[in-house]
Amino acid sequence: MSASSVFLTTCLAAAVEVIEMVIIVIGVGSVRGWRSTWLGAGGGLAILAVLVLALGTALTAVPIDALRLVVGSLLLVFGLQWLRKGIRRVSANGFRGMGERTASAAGIPGRGVDWTAFVLSFKGVLLEGLEIAFIVVSFGVTAQELPSAVLGAGAAFLVVASAGVLASGVVRRIPRSALQLLVGTLLSSFGTFWAVQGLGVSWPGSDGAIVALVGWYALAAAGYVGLLRRDARRLATLEVTG
Amino acid sequence: MSTILRWLTGFGRFWYGFIVGDDWTVAATVAVALVVTWLLHAAAVTAWWLPPLAAVAAVGVSLRRMSLASTPS
């Protein structure tokens, strides 16, 4: 494998992982606030840097499947909480009915660290960062082109993270109820993907299964919103006639 | 002592809220689904479909229960 093909392969493979990382950080930051989200992301990157510096190419000894199972399970159960809340809010108020809410009213501490945002962001960055490091070590060492692999992953990080920062402006304009539903869908999808992968089970279509999972949870959410609205209409009709 | 106890209580409360939230049945269903998935996988049965199916079913049951609880009798 030449240096340029190692660069390109690592760049593309790492880009998939960076996209997942950026989606989690932007989603959590948009819903829970940015300060604690950045603190969590920074903490994840710091632990990752320590692991990479301490272990080097021995990094592949880290039990990634166990980490995927733990992080995936936690993201899944938390993502389902947001999915449920998002479904209830959207079914009750629509996409624009939330109005302005203060941080404390939304269950987010006004002062100090919001540990929910911190933990979600920390776990997402650490797990995805480790996967990127694995890709770099695997491709780089196998092809004896470690510097090209590091550069490829670095380029992917710069491009995707910059696109994420630009996209966060658009995300901030999404109504809060819809955003919670959207982020709940994404966290549930990533959580399901990683938890099942951590059990040693392969997904059909590999990383492409994440897109199918997002579609699955989005479809389920739309169905539940429809059912809850139908129930509310039926109840309103009963109250009027009764 | 009281500071440590308060910290431990807060730590436990945070993780309880993070994992369990306001409906423990969703987290329990996810845990059971993952264990069954692992058992099926160990028995060489394709099982990737189980957790997403169980998760959506658990959310549906939870929403139904909340909806019934908030409906005036």
Distance CA A70, CA A197 (A): 11
**Closest chain A residue to B68, measured at CA:** A231
Query: Is there a contact between A74 and B47 if contact means CB atoms under 8 Å apart?
Result: no
CB A91 within 8 A of CB A178: no
Query: Is there a contact between A80 and B26 if contact means CB atoms under 8 Å apart?
Result: yes
| Identity of the residue in A116, A201, A217 whose CB atom sits nearest the CB atom of B18 | A116
Banded model confidence at residue B71, pLDDT cuts 50, 70, 90: low
Identify the pLDDT of residue A20. 85
Residue A2 tokens read as 């030449």
Identify the pLDDT of residue B45. 95
Share of chain A above pLDDT 70, in %: 92
Residue A49 belongs to domain spanning: 3-241
Q: Tell me what the mean pLDDT of segment A163-168 comes to.
A: 85
Banded model confidence at residue B73, pLDDT cuts 50, 70, 90: low
> Does B35 have pLDDT greater than 50?
yes
pLDDT in tens, A35-63: 899 999 999 999 888 888 887 777 777 78
Identify the pLDDT of residue B57. 97
Name the CA dihedral angle for A163, A165, A170, A174, rounded to a multiple of 10 degrees: 120
> Where is pLDDT greater, at B2 or A222?
A222
Q: Which one of A44-48, A62-66, A102-106, A170-174 scores highest in mean pLDDT?
A: A44-48
User: Using a CB-CB distance cutoff of 8 angstroms, which residues of chain B are in contact with residue A87?
Assistant: 59, 63
Banded model confidence at residue A100, pLDDT cuts 50, 70, 90: very low
Interface confidence, given as ipTM, is 0.91
User: Using a CB-CB distance cutoff of 8 angstroms, which residues of chain B are in contact with residue A213?
Assistant: 52
Which pTM was predicted? Answer: 0.79
Q: Which of A7-11, A198-202, B30-34 has the lowest mean pLDDT?
A: A7-11
Distance CA A120, CA A114 (A): 10
Distance from CA of B32 to the nearest CA of A (A): 11
Q: How many domains does chain A have?
A: 1
Identify the pLDDT of residue A215. 97
> Where is pLDDT greater, at A112 or A222?
A222
Q: How far is CA A60 from CA A64, A124, A194, A237, in A?
A: 8, 19, 17, 61
- Pick from A68, A73, A75, A77 the residue to mutate for testing the B interface (most B CBs within 10 Å): A77
> Does A239 have pLDDT greater than 70?
yes
User: Using a CB-CB distance cutoff of 8 angstroms, which residues of chain B are in contact with residue A32?
Assistant: none
Residue A67, Cβ density class (10 Å: 0-12 exposed, 13-18 middle, ≥19 buried): middle
> Does A211 have pLDDT greater than 90?
yes
Burial A88-108 (b: 16+ CB within 10 A, else e): bbbbeeeeeebeeeeeeeeeb
Asked if B36 has any chain A CB less than 8 Å from its own CB, the reply is no
